[in-house]
């Protein structure tokens, strides 16, 4: 049963972790794509974004997207009665895997271009 729940969480996170959750976040998502391409923002294994280089509005983009991600992770965790950290971990793994070449990911505490 636990394996089934983990698979379900994995599928949900895959489909829900990154989409925008409101019009304001849709704009933030668009800006996020640009910030990632410019090397200002990167994905972490925790399921959240971090600022790689503080420039422009990178910090506000990260805050908006991370807030939406946290809300979604909590919703998924509550729905499946599992710890939020478990959802964050799965989401972080998927985000790292899905990051395109040339963008930053956090590996063992160091920013690395994938």
Q: Where are the domains of the chain?
A: 2-108
- Show Cβ contacts of residue 48 under 8 Å, excluding neighbours closer than 6 positions: 66, 69, 70, 88, 92
Question: CB-side exposure of 68: number of CA atoms within 13 Å?
Answer: 21
In this prediction the pTM is 0.77
- Can you give the pLDDT at residue 29? 79
Report whether 42 contacts 110 (CB < 8 A): no
Could you read off the pLDDT of 48-104 as tens digits, one per residue? Answer: 999 999 988 899 999 999 999 999 999 999 999 999 999 999 999 999 999 999 999
- Can you give the pLDDT at residue 18? 43
Report whether 75 contacts 82 (CB < 8 A): no
């Amino acid at each position: 049963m636990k394996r089934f729940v983990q698979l379900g969480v994995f599928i949900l996170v895959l489909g829900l972790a990154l989409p925008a959750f409101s019009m304001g976040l849709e704009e933030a998502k668009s800006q996020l794509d640009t910030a990632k391409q410019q090397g200002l923002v990167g994905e972490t294994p925790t399921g959240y974004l971090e600022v790689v280089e503080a420039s422009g509005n990178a910090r506000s983009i990260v805050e908006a997207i991370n807030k939406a991600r946290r809300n979604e992770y909590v919703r998924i965790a509550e729905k499946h009665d599992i710890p939020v950290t478990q959802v964050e971990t799965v989401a972080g793994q998927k985000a790292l895997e899905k990051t395109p070449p040339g963008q930053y990911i956090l590996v063992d505490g160091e920013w690395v271009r994938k």
